[in-house]
Amino acid sequence: IEDVLEQIVGDIGDEYDTDEDLDIRREGERQYTVRGQTRISEFNDYFDTEFSDEEFDTIGGLATHFLGRLPRRGETFVMNGLEFRVLRADRRRLDTLRVITPHDIVREEQ
The b/e string for 30-57 (b: 16+ C-beta within 10 A; e otherwise) is eebbbbbebebebbeebbebebebeebe
Distance, in Å, from the CA atom of 31 to the CA atom of 27, rounded to the nearest integer, reads 5
Could you tell me if residue 34 is inside a domain? yes
CATH code where residue 21 lies: 3.30.465.10
Q: Does 13 or 22 have the greater pLDDT score?
A: 22
Length of the chain: 110
Residue 110 is predicted with a pLDDT of 46
Q: Tell me if 32 is assigned to some domain.
A: yes
- H runs (alpha helix) in the chain: 2-9, 40-47, 59-67
Structural domain contains residue 8: no
Starting at the edge strand found earlier in the chain, the sheet holding 31-35 runs 24-28, 31-35, 94-100, 82-89, 76-79
The tally of domains found in the chain comes to 1
Domain membership of residue 4 (yes or no) is no
For 35-74, how does the pLDDT look when each residue is reduced to its tens digit (9 = 90+)? 999 999 999 999 999 999 999 999 999 999 999 999 999 9
pTM of the model: 0.76
- Is residue 49 assigned to a domain? yes
21's CB contacts (< 8 A; 6+ apart) are none
Q: Report if residue 77 sits inside a domain.
A: yes
User: Does 109 map to a domain?
Assistant: no
Q: Evaluate whether residue 1 is within a structural domain.
A: no
pLDDT in tens, 72-107: 999 999 999 999 999 999 988 999 999 999 987 766
Domain range for 84 is: 14-100
